DNA sequence: TGTTGACTTGGACCTTGGTCCAGGTGCGAA
DNA sequence: TTCGCACCTGGACCAAGGTCCAAGTCAACA
């Protein structure tokens, strides 16, 4: 079983990509654009991600997947890099985003009702035409 | 008061755009791409939207705003045009979409909890550093 | 010791969803 | 009847977010 070893330290880009569900090219793209910080490199110059780096990717993906634009995620990453201890700005950014996500969930829920109404309409028409 | 008149029949593209919150260019773009059906034209060749046409736009915007790709909305529009009475396919399409929206609301709600967790973490760190 | 296979880089290309612009037309007010 | 304005068309342009490709490097294995 290779599992125990795979839990530990330093994976290559392909393995990380697979683990987080991204294309390796997407990870490189994010790095070029500052969305992700540059990872360590092994002796041969290849990218090497420890578990902390992988965890950061996973957190940032939660932000992306709740609609935060890459440019905004990049700000977050830069805050971490510039001042790893200074948590205040990051906290503000997250709270902002949290509010937006909550709002979007509310508006989607409303739209869901509109769609349901339309479905009900159509169902009635379909039943009438029987 | 112009209000009573504005409620009635046949608005031009700018007025409709304003009413539904779109750029007139966006409405033309949607029409070119089949997202919206071609509207009536007045004597001078200008687009003219009656209340039914405006209502259709509003419904389609609910689909768009819950993440349905324009290509999918276009299918819906074509179903209406091809067979105005045949409601079954439209119903299936809407139910599909409804399920996707419901799922998305669930996953976003989960991500919201992850973000909240991160906020709590940061808050604890900020409090410790005081 | 040479071939494989995974990696490296930079840049070209792609899709989605618009937005903007130039050049032309037609209607109503002055 | 001429001005001005809203509209028309077709096509260029834009931004975000990737994806793909060519050419080169390196480590390991036969």
Around A2, how many Cα atoms within 13 Å sit in the side-chain half-sphere? 1
Distance CA A129, CA A123 (A): 10
Whether B29 shows a pLDDT value over 80: the answer reads yes
pTM of the entire predicted model: 0.89
Distance from residue B42's CA to nucleotide D9's C1', rounded to whole Å: 17
Whether A124 shows a pLDDT value over 50: the answer reads yes
User: Cβ of B101 and A111 within 8 Å?
Assistant: yes
Whether B79 shows a pLDDT value over 90: the answer reads yes
Distance CA B3, CA A111 (A): 27
pLDDT at residue A130, as a whole number:
65
Residue B35 phi, psi (nearest 5): -65, -40
User: pLDDT digit string (tens) for A12-29?
Assistant: 999 999 999 999 999 999
Whether B2 shows a pLDDT value over 60: the answer reads no
Contacts of B102 in chain A (CB under 8 A): 112
| Helices (runs of H) and strands (runs of E) counted in chain A | 6, 2
Distance CA B118, CA B130 (A): 19
């Amino acid at each position: 079983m290779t599992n125990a070893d795979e839990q530990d330290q330093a994976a290559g880009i392909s393995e990380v990509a697979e683990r987080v569900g991204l294309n390796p090219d997407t990870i490189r793209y994010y790095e070029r654009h500052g969305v992700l910080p540059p990872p360590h490199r092994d002796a041969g110059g290849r990218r090497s991600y420890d578990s902390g780096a992988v965890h950061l990717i996973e957190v940032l993906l939660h932000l992306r997947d709740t609609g935060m634009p890459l440019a905004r995620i990049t700000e977050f990453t830069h805050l971490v890099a510039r001042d790893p201890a200074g948590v205040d700005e990051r906290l503000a950014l997250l709270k902002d985003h949290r509010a937006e996500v909550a709002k979007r969930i509310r508006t989607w829920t409303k739209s869901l009702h509109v769609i349901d109404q339309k479905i009900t309409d159509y169902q009635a028409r379909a039943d009438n035409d029987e």
